[in-house]
């Protein structure tokens, strides 16, 4: 019979708790009456974990690259089951409870995530910094940016179908593997749910592999990098709008705001904001196209329409028109200066606006060529 369920546990010197995790998984799966396998993804253990796992009937897969994600890539890649359950081998998760995860897969869900906050956290099982700040903050930010609906995005016990894992095409090798799975599942619209589970105090006799600030930063960094819209485009739009608004408002002359005179110096700052904002928006668009062509994120219908609407030719025309507006404004100022016998010239305001338009126009022209190159789909070389 073909294997139905694969249980994958990452391992790095977990001899103190590995046996109980394997035995609980054996008991739960035997009681369910399914064909299964237990895989230990070893990440370089030196405490006898490998021999212990093999003696208990588990299959050991070795991964030399250090990292939580790398260990899972090796273990899941070697799994033969249609359904895969993953969880840490430090006895903080109860593998005798994995049947509830399988129930949800059986019901049609493609990804099932444990929720420790709904199920309960044993005293001493999670540092207060993680429980009240780190996990809620990172999970909240992930949901704000990606709308996944998962309230415990970093729970280590999960289940998914092998097909779903292959669709997700995960790339990361560290602790951010957990965030990437939720983000990818959300972007691909996979059927995903949470179930309450209890987090127990682990039974290890060594310091944890987790490093709070380093791993928290890796999660945050990944979430930002994976979303060019939030990292680049929205901040860029804010700067650009502020800059252009100040340029247009101050073009006729100084204005008073809250009884304070606002003059040409703010207009110079507005020019800086507009140029910087446009550059940041451009970086966001580059990143968006790169992420689609390299299959980090799926291409959406809205993005497809945008690619067709803003093609190279339209970009060149738009950039040329904006550059020409700035150039003609500067030309008008030059003609006025010559007509005035090269005398005193009070045209600083239109000159600032003209320079800004010329810079943005030139950026649009050259960005259009670069975007056109980025938009070429990456294909493997022919053999």
Tell me: do 248 and 307 sit in the same domain.
Answer: yes
Write down the pLDDT at residue 367. Answer: 92
pLDDT tens across 129-156, in order? 888 898 899 999 999 999 999 999 999 9
Residue 81 has pLDDT above 50, yes or no: yes
Tell me: do 151 and 294 sit in the same domain.
Answer: no
Residue 41 in any domain: the answer is: yes
pLDDT tens across 226-280, in order? 889 999 999 999 999 999 999 999 999 988 888 888 889 999 999 999 999 999 9
Tell me: do 98 and 214 sit in the same domain.
Answer: yes
Residue 336 in any domain: the answer is: yes
SS (H, E, C) 227-294: CHHHHHHHHHHHHHHHHHHHHHHHCCCCEEECCEEECHHHHHHHHHHHHHHHHHHHHHHHHHHHHHHC
Taking the C-alpha atoms of residue 297 and residue 320, their distance in angstroms, rounded to an integer, is: 32
Domain count, the chain: 2
Write down the pLDDT at residue 378. Answer: 46
Residue 82 has pLDDT above 80, yes or no: yes
Tell me: do 192 and 65 sit in the same domain.
Answer: yes
Residue 159 in any domain: the answer is: yes
The mean per-residue pLDDT over the stretch 336-343 comes to 81
Residue 379 in any domain: the answer is: no
Residue 382 in any domain: the answer is: no
Tell me: do 177 and 235 sit in the same domain.
Answer: no
Residue 237 in any domain: the answer is: yes
Tell me: do 37 and 151 sit in the same domain.
Answer: yes
Point out the domain boundary residue: 169, 190, 225: 225
Name the pLDDT band for 209 (thresholds 50, 70, 90). Answer: low
Residue 380 in any domain: the answer is: no
Tell me: do 214 and 239 sit in the same domain.
Answer: no
Tell me: do 259 and 219 sit in the same domain.
Answer: no
Tell me: do 96 and 136 sit in the same domain.
Answer: yes
Tell me: do 36 and 119 sit in the same domain.
Answer: yes
More confident residue, 378 or 183: 183
Please give the full DSSP string across 80-130, using - where no structure is assigned: --SEEEE--SSSSS-GGGTHHHHHHHHTT-SEEEEEHHHH-B-TTSS-HHI
Residue 383 has pLDDT above 90, yes or no: no
Tell me: do 48 and 167 sit in the same domain.
Answer: yes
Residue 383 in any domain: the answer is: no
pLDDT tens across 147-183, in order? 999 999 999 999 999 999 999 999 999 989 999 999 9
The mean per-residue pLDDT over the stretch 302-315 comes to 80
Contacts of 58 (CB under 8 A, 6+ apart): 22, 38, 39, 40
Tell me: do 178 and 287 sit in the same domain.
Answer: no
Cβ(98)–Cβ(31) below 8 Å: no
- Tokens linked to 144: 């704000």
Backbone phi, psi, residue 335, to 5°: -60, -40
Indicate which CATH number applies to the domain containing 207.
3.90.550.10
Q: In terms of residue numbers, what domain contains 258?
A: 228-374
Q: Dmax of the chain from CA atoms? A: 98
Point out the domain boundary residue: 198, 225, 252: 225
Name the pLDDT band for 379 (thresholds 50, 70, 90). Answer: very low
Contacts of 121 (CB under 8 A, 6+ apart): 131, 198, 199
Residue 325 has pLDDT above 60, yes or no: yes
Point out the domain boundary residue: 175, 193, 225: 225
């Amino acid at each position: 019979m073909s294997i139905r369920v694969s249980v994958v546990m990452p391992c790095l010197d977990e001899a103190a708790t590995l046996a109980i995790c394997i035995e609980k998984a054996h008991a739960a799966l035997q009681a369910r009456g399914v064909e299964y396998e237990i895989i230990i993804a070893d990440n370089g253990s030196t405490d006898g974990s490998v021999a212990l796992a093999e003696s208990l009937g588990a299959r050991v897969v070795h991964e030399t690259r250090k990292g939580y994600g790398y260990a899972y890539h090796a273990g899941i890649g070697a799994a033969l089951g249609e359904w895969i359950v993953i969880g840490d081998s430090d006895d903080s998760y109860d593998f005798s409870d994995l049947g509830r995860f399988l129930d949800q897969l059986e019901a049609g869900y493609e990804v099932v995530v444990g929720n420790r906050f709904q199920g309960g956290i044993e005293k001493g099982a999670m540092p207060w910094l993680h429980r009240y700040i780190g996990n809620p903050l990172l999970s909240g930010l992930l949901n704000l940016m990606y709308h996944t609906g998962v309230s415990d995005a970093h729970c280590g016990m999960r289940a998914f179908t092998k097909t779903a894992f292959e669709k997700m095409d995960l790339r990361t090798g560290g602790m951010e593997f957990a965030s990437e799975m939720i983000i990818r599942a959300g972007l691909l619209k996979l059927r995903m749910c949470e179930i309450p589970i209890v987090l127990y105090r682990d039974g290890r006799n060594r310091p944890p592999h987790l490093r709070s600030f380093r791993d928290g930063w890796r999660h945050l960094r990944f979430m930002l990098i994976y979303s060019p819209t939030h990292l680049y485009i929205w901040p860029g739009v804010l700067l650009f709008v502020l800059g252009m608004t100040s340029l247009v408002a101050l073009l006729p002359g100084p204005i008073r705001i809250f009884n304070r005179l606002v003059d040409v110096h703010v207009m110079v700052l507005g020019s800086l904001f507009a140029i910087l904002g446009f550059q940041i928006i451009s970086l966001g668009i580059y990143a968006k196209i790169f992420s689609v062509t390299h299959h980090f994120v799926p291409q959406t219908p809205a993005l497809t329409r945008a690619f067709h609407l803003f093609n190279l030719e339209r970009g060149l025309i738009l950039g040329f028109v904006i550059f020409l507006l700035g150039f003609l404004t500067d030309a008008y100022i030059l003609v006025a200066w010559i007509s005035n016998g090269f005398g005193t010239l009070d045209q600083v305001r239109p000159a600032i606006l003209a320079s800004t338009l010329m810079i943005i126009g030139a950026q649009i022209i050259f960005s259009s060529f670069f975007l056109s190159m980025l938009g070429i789909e990456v294909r493997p070389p022919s053999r």
